[in-house]
Structure 1
């Protein structure tokens, strides 16, 4: 699976879907996050002051989520995601961070673990509570 920031923030902030998301993570044989999404996760967690410095890295390590590099091919996929599903262009209203997650899921063919409805309005498989 490809893990979106929304899923990990929901886990870290004890949102109602926390247990379901944790179960999905533990059942997955593969867990990936794009490098820019990992940066976004760190920024979001530290900005919310829900955690100390480095918590995002520890969360990714403990959940055995592999950070995937973001190369030129993924860059093109992310741009295409914005063209097709970007905010102000489509009902999915993907933002910048969403486009990074979309690109990796599109490239790997893996489902996206997330919260919210944005990815449900794209052409990818989504795991959401």
Structure 2
């Protein structure tokens, strides 16, 4: 289902901070081949890797204070805080799996 939602979307974004976190996790778990697969998926889905603005930095910081790991049920990590910040700055819903973002105030795609 999420792949279809991505396919049907007009525009897909990922924060460069979240992209770095994704790269680190995939490289550690699946190695270079896994990262090549992830990069191919992002290209085919026409994801736009967005730079981090100062405003996003402030929004990410506030996301940690409000919803961060060890502070709130949402338990947002570093990359999550930047996903949250990008969605808030662009006033767009967020596609996510799991329950973490469900405990925040960011709108959900599905």
TM-score under structure 2 length normalisation: 0.90
Corresponding position of 2:42: 60
Gapped regions of structure 2 (runs ≥ 5): none
Considering only aligned residues, what root-mean-square deviation do their CA atoms show, in Å?
1.5
Gapped regions of structure 1 (runs ≥ 5): 1-19
**Correspondence list, 1:29-40, <5 A:** 29-40=10-21
Runs of 4+ in 1 over 6 A off after TM superposition: none
What is the CA–CA distance in structure 1 between the aligned matches of 2:59 and 2:26, rounded to whole Å? 26
TM-score under structure 1 length normalisation: 0.78
Higher helix share: 2
What is the CA–CA distance in structure 2 between the aligned matches of 1:99 and 1:77, rounded to whole Å? 8
Whether the 8 Å CA contact 1:92–1:117 is kept in 2: the answer is: yes
Alignment of 1:117 with 2:108, yes or no, is no
Higher relative contact order (CA 8 A, sep 6+): 1
Whether the 8 Å CA contact 1:42–1:54 is kept in 2: the answer is: no
1:99 aligned residue (69, 81, 88): 81
Residue 54 of structure 1, CA deviation: 3.4
What is the CA–CA distance in structure 2 between the aligned matches of 1:26 and 1:88, rounded to whole Å? 34
